[in-house]
């Protein structure tokens, strides 16, 4: 049955076994994650996809954590940073970039989780930070607050993606959310008066609204909160720079 289009006995349509490269490994890993999820993107499974043994991967990648970091930076390359060049509406630009960032991670919550632990430092991550800083400076946010604020914004967006997000894991998550909803509804108004009074509003609203509100809270907070330790911190920073 159309056997002349099948060039070899190997799986899929890969015609010949391509030479291993770090980049090829990482790209295959991202593709595998897209189709089967991070859970199934194991060294062994990935090696199988590349028609080799798991041990071969260790020539190019130190361990699983490093692989995940490289995959994350690859993924961050798809974040839309173009709003950082639109003059005028810095606040909206920030929201757009963070929304794009969230959307990218939303499809891979487990990778978002690993981003919380292993701080990325690849080129795409740096470009993202640069874009956020440029918009904050356009908004006249003092540089010292912007330095720490970027972290807060990215932490917020990353956590959001790690918490919610799609994939099969969502079924379990939704189940747990229902357990929590029931627990909140059945709460004794004697033991937990405030919870009982607020009730369902603790969980209400679509994620989009909560994200938008949380983003505004952060921006407004940064605008209203000077860094208290300016003198000391500047000294520390200058020491780190070698002054």
User: Which of DNA, a second copy, none is residue 194 near (CB under 5 to 8 Å by kind)?
Assistant: a second copy
User: Which of a second copy, DNA, none is residue 6 near (CB under 5 to 8 Å by kind)?
Assistant: none
Binding of residue 53 to DNA (CB under 7 A): yes
Q: Which of 2, 6, 48, 1 is nearest to 28 (CA)?
A: 48
Binding of residue 208 to DNA (CB under 7 A): no
3-state per-residue secondary structure call for 159-178: HHHHHCCCCCHHHHHHHHHH
Residue 143 CB neighbours (<10 A): 9
Query: Which CB atom, from 5 or from 121, has the smaller least distance to a second copy?
Result: 121
Q: Report the first-to-last Cα separation within the chain, whole angstroms.
A: 73
DSSP 41: -
Q: How far apart are CA 99 and CA 116, in angstroms?
A: 17
Q: How far is the CB of 213 from a second copy (least distance, A)?
A: 6
Q: How far is the CB of 22 from a second copy (least distance, A)?
A: 16
The count of residues interacting with a second copy (CB under 8 A) is 80
- Choose, by CB under 7 A, the member of 6, 40, 208, 230 that binds DNA: 40
Q: Is 208 left (phi over 0), alpha (psi -120 to 50) or beta?
A: alpha
Query: Which CB atom, from 16 or from 143, has the smaller least distance to a second copy?
Result: 143
> CB of 97 within 8 A of CB of 131?
yes
* 140 three-state secondary structure: coil
| Cβ neighbours for 86, distance < 8 A, ≥ 6 positions apart | 93
Q: How far is the CB of 84 from a second copy (least distance, A)?
A: 10
Q: Which backbone phi and psi does 63 adopt, to 5 degrees?
A: -165, -175
3-state per-residue secondary structure call for 96-116: HHHHHHHHHHHCCHHHHHHHH
Binding of residue 170 to a second copy (CB under 8 A): no
User: Which of DNA, a second copy, none is residue 74 near (CB under 5 to 8 Å by kind)?
Assistant: none
Query: Which CB atom, from 49 or from 73, has the smaller least distance to DNA?
Result: 49
- Choose, by CB under 7 A, the member of 44, 85, 194, 234 that binds DNA: 44
Query: Which CB atom, from 10 or from 148, has the smaller least distance to a second copy?
Result: 148
Binding of residue 14 to DNA (CB under 7 A): no
Q: How far is the CB of 238 from a second copy (least distance, A)?
A: 8
Binding of residue 59 to DNA (CB under 7 A): yes
Binding of residue 64 to DNA (CB under 7 A): yes
Give residues in contact with DNA (CB under 7 A).
19-20, 40, 42-45, 52-56, 58-60, 63-65
């Amino acid at each position: 049955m159309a056997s002349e289009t099948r060039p070899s006995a190997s799986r899929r349509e890969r015609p010949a076994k391509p030479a291993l490269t770090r980049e090829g490994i990482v790209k295959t890993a991202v593709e595998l994650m897209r189709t089967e999820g991070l859970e199934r993107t194991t060294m062994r499974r990935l090696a199988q996809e590349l028609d080799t043994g798991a041990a071969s991967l260790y020539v190019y990648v130190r361990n699983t954590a490093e692989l995940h970091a490289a995959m994350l930076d690859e993924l961050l390359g798809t974040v839309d940073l173009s709003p950082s060049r639109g003059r005028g509406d810095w606040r909206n630009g920030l929201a757009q970039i963070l929304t794009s960032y969230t959307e990218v991670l939303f499809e891979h919550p487990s990778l978002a989780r690993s981003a919380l632990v292993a701080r990325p430092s690849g080129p795409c991550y740096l470009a993202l930070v640069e874009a956020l800083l440029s918009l904050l400076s356009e908004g006249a946010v003092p540089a010292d607050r912007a330095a720490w604020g970027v972290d807060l914004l990215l932490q917020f967006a990353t956590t959001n993606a790690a918490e919610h997000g799609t994939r099969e894991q969502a079924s379990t998550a939704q189940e747990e959310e229902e357990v929590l909803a029931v627990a909140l509804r059945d709460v004794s108004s004697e033991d937990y008066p405030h919870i009982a009074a607020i009730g369902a509003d603790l969980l209400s609203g679509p994620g989009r609204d909560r994200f938008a509100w949380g983003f505004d809270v952060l921006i407004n907070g940064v605008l209203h909160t000077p860094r208290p330790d300016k003198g000391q911190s500047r000294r520390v920073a200058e020491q780190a720079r070698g002054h």
